[in-house]
Amino acid sequence: MTTPNESSTQCATSPSDALSLLLKCARQLEASGQISAAWNAYQAAALADETPNGRVELAGFHFRTERFDEAGQEYESLLHLAAESDDRRLAEVARHNLAAILRKTGQSSRAMTLQARATADSISANGELDTADLTGRALDAIDQRDFGLAENLLLRSLAVEKSSGNHDGEATDCANLGALALLRGDNAVGIRFLSRAYHLHRKLNDKVNAGTDLLNLAEAFQNASRWTLASRCLRRAMSQFESCGANQSLNTAHARLREVRQIQGVFKRDPLLN
């Protein structure tokens, strides 16, 4: 948003200034946990914007707050718009995010199809894969239980993100490497990567992903029978999810905390009563 000229007697706001103000307001409301008000602001921005940018922001908000049906519909619409306008960048954004939603909702086959198209377009346009393609292909490899390929792709992406100073991408790769390590049964490596991801996500104020890191850390501590640490991670995860409107993950964390407390209760009982 531009600063008004102090010498002017009127304050005229251009459409672009109004849109910037709406998006700034939406982000501030979301960051402060005022999710309903943030939704209204993102919706207003999408309606006010003649470009796809406002709709991209709204779709991202739906994704972060786990409104996956609404997010998927928006990205589907944006993908059609990109095809009509021959907007490669918009198509790339829509495909990667739609693939991520499909993975979240258990539609891995369609996610892989979209990812393959995104990868082909990236190679055609740039002659190489970018980090979003590397990460997307890695997640598809995890779904296919090809853990070696997934690790190779994620480490390649992490090296690029670190060298470019992209903390958001670095946090994503560390989180995925940590989750992958748990799938491979390597708790120590998983805890190391997930702890790093959590601290980066906290610095970025990315609450939903910080909460997801804590969920995975809780799993690692459960695997090691460190029930107090697992419980602490789950309580913190619930706080993160509650503050950003991620209700599905909040319910998951709450259910897992009940399970952990039940196990803790068993250990605290008089062994003669078991």
pLDDT score for 147? 97
More confident residue, 3 or 24: 24
pLDDT score for 10? 40
More confident residue, 93 or 124: 93
pLDDT score for 15? 54
**Tokens 């619930």 label which residue?**
238
| 167 vs 158: CA distance, rounded Å | 10
| 244 vs 253: CA distance, rounded Å | 14
| 75 vs 54: CA distance, rounded Å | 12
Q: N- to C-terminal Cα distance for the chain?
A: 66
pLDDT score for 266? 79
Position 4 confidence tier, pLDDT thresholds 50, 70, 90: very low
Kindly tell me if the per-residue pLDDT of 119 is higher than 90. Answer: no
pLDDT digits (tens, 9 = 90+) for 146-196: 999 999 999 999 999 999 999 999 999 999 999 999 999 999 999 999 999
pLDDT digits (tens, 9 = 90+) for 47-66: 999 899 999 999 999 999 99
From the number of C-beta atoms within 10 Å of its C-beta (0-12, 13-18, 19+), residue 263 rates as middle
pLDDT digits (tens, 9 = 90+) for 26-41: 999 999 999 999 999 9
> What's the pTM value of the predicted model, to 2 decimals?
0.87
Nearest to 198 by CA among 243, 238, 233: 233
Nearest to 118 by CA among 79, 151, 146: 79
Kindly tell me if the per-residue pLDDT of 8 is higher than 50. Answer: no
